Amino acid sequence: MGNTAVVVGGGIGGLAAALGLRLVGWEVTVLERAPAFAEVGAGISLHANGVRALEALGVGEAIRAAARPLYTGGNRTSDGRWLARMDGAALERRLGTPVVGILRADLHRVLREALPAEAVKTGVEVTDVGDAGDADLIVVADGVHSRLRAELFPGHPGPVHSGSTVLRAITEHPFPGLCSDLELTWGPGAEFGHILFADGRAEWHAVLTSPPGVRHPDPLAAMRRRFHGWHDTVPALLDATRPEDVLHHDIHELVTPLPSFTVGDRIAVLGDAAHAMTPNLGQGASQALEDAAVLAACIAAEPTIPSALRRYDAERRPRTRSVARAARQAGRMGHRLTHPLAVALRDTALRLAPSEATLRAVLRHADWTPPRLR
C-alpha cells in the first residue's frame, strides 16, 4: 500500500483526516485555498462522539483544556418556560464526557498545531482532482459547496437550501449572567440558542425560516426586532454583542445522499463535502471527526487502498445518512414548526417526557466508539 496522501480542504474535517493518516504512518499534505487561517467563526458544541474521535486522533487532552464542559441547559419556549432539561452529569456518567463547548478557532488551532507546519499549505486552490497530484490517496474535504464533489459526481444535484438561515456571534466580553450552559429556545419559525465557552464568553445563534439570500443592513438590529419580547436571556446576549461580530450564512444540506463516499481506487470524500447536514443536532463537526478517525483506521487495517476505501464507505455512509435525516427532522419539529396546534402538541410531549427519554435521544447519536489508531 502507498503512503502519501493529499487532503483538499483545511477545515476541521480536513485537518482531522490529515492527523489521523499521519498517526498511521502516512505522509500527508493539506491544501487550503484560503491565503491564511484567520481567527474567525463562532463556536460549536461537541457531543461525546466528537470528543472520542478527537481522543482517538491524539488531541483529546488539548481539546479538553480548550473546551468547557456543558452541564446545564435544555429547551425553552420564547417566554422562558422550560420544555426539557439537559443533564450533563448523567451524560458524563454514561459516556465519560458531557457535551463540551469550544470556540471553532480553538478547535482548528489544536488540530493545526498537532500537524507539522510544512504539512499545511495555504493559498492553494484545487479546482479539479488533477490539481491534487499523484498521491496514493486523495481526501476531498472542501466543504458543503465542494468543487471536487461536483466533478466526481456530475449527476448529483449538490447542496440545496434547507429553508433556513443562521445568524451568530460571540459576546464581546465574558457573560456571567446565564442560568445555563447550553440552551435552545423555540418560537414560531425561529430558534435562539447559546453556548458557554471556557473564557466565559458565550456564542448565540439565531436560526430563522427564510429564503436564501436575505440580508440585513444591520443584522444585530434585525435580530433585536425579530426576538423582541422573548425571555430576558435573548436580548441580554444581543446587547452584549458588537454589530461587526455578527455572521450570517444560509444553511445548505445534501438532501440527496451521495451514492458513495469514495471514487475509484484512491479518492475518499469526507465531512460536509460528503454529508452536509442541518445543524439542529449539533453533529456536523462531530461526524466529520468520526469520518477522519474511521478513514485512518481503515487505511491502517486493510491490505490495499481500494479495500480500505470500501470499508470506509460501508461504515460511514449509513451512519451519516441516519444522523443527517435525524437532524432534518429535528429542525422540522423545532424552529420550522409554526402551526399553533402542532407547537402545543410538541411542547406538551416534551414537558411530559421522562428524563431518561431525553437522555436516550442524545445517546442515540453520541454513543459511538472510535477505532483504535495507535
Q: What is the pLDDT of residues 33-48, one digit of tens each?
A: 999 887 667 899 999 9
- Dihedral (Cα; 160, 162, 167, 168), 10-degree rounding: -90
Closest alpha carbon to 2 in 110, 133, 99 = 133
**Residue 359 near residue 91 (C-beta atoms within 8 A):** yes
Residue 20 has pLDDT above 70, yes or no: yes
Q: What is the pLDDT of residues 252-282, one digit of tens each?
A: 999 999 999 999 999 999 999 999 999 999 9
Lowest mean pLDDT among 87-96, 216-225, 228-237, 359-368: 359-368
Average of pLDDT values for 229-237? 96
Lowest mean pLDDT among 107-111, 211-215, 369-373: 369-373
Angle at the Cα of 164 (from 163 to 166), degrees rounded to 5?
Answer: 165
Classify residue 187 as exposed, middle or buried by CB count within 10 Å of its CB (0-12, 13-18, 19+).
buried
DSSP secondary structure, 199-242, as one string:
TS-EEEEEEEE--TT---SSHHHHHHHHTTTS-THHHHHHHTS-
Q: What is the pLDDT of residues 100-117, one digit of tens each?
A: 999 999 999 999 999 999
Query: Taking the CB of residue 239, how many other CB atoms lie within 10 A of it?
Result: 10
pLDDT the model gives residue 1: 65
The three grid cell numbers given for residue 362, joined into one nine-digit string? 442524545
Secondary structure element (H or E) that encloses residue 46, with its range: strand 43-46
Lowest mean pLDDT among 75-79, 158-162, 297-301, 349-353: 349-353
